[in-house]
């Protein structure tokens, strides 16, 4: 996103990416990970992902450019992962055909039963 804003000479959208990355890092370093802290961090990261995806869509609509096929597929996979993670967060149940990796979206979690 930084590169796109630099190319089109527009102001970088306001996101709290650095704040949330710091919060996630402090949570991951904790020895006792309480569920209320995990829920706060997960909710914030999901909102951040939603906002970043929306900002990228706005930039693409205002300044049309030809994105590579690889970029388009990754954006589609990220949108699908966001929906899956939001569903898991809200319901607490697993999702069918969950995507594990953005770069290898065909990989699914291994289940031995």
Task: Read off the pLDDT of residues 77-105 as tens digits, 9 standing for 90 and up.
Answer: 999 999 999 999 999 998 888 888 888 88
> 56 with 3: CB under 8 angstroms?
no
More confidently predicted of 8 and 111: 8
pLDDT score, position 3: 80
Residue 113, pLDDT score = 60
pTM above the 0.75 mark? yes
Residue 8 contacts residue 59 (beta carbons within 8 Å) = yes
Q: What are phi and psi of 63, to 5 degrees?
A: -125, 85
pLDDT, one tens digit per residue, over 1-22 is 778 788 888 888 888 888 888 9
Residues 6+ apart with CB under 8 A from 79: 53
């Amino acid at each position: 996103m930084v590169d796109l804003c630099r190319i089109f000479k527009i102001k970088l959208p306001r996101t709290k990416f650095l704040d949330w990355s710091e919060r996630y890092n402090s949570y991951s370093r904790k020895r006792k990970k309480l569920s209320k802290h995990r829920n706060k961090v997960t909710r914030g990261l999901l909102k951040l992902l939603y906002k970043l995806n929306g900002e990228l869509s706005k930039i693409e609509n205002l300044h049309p450019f030809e994105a590579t096929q690889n970029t388009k597929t990754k954006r589609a996979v990220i949108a699908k992962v966001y929906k899956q993670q939001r569903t898991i967060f809200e319901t607490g149940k697993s999702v069918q055909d969950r995507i594990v990796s953005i770069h290898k979206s065909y990989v699914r979690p291994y289940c031995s039963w």
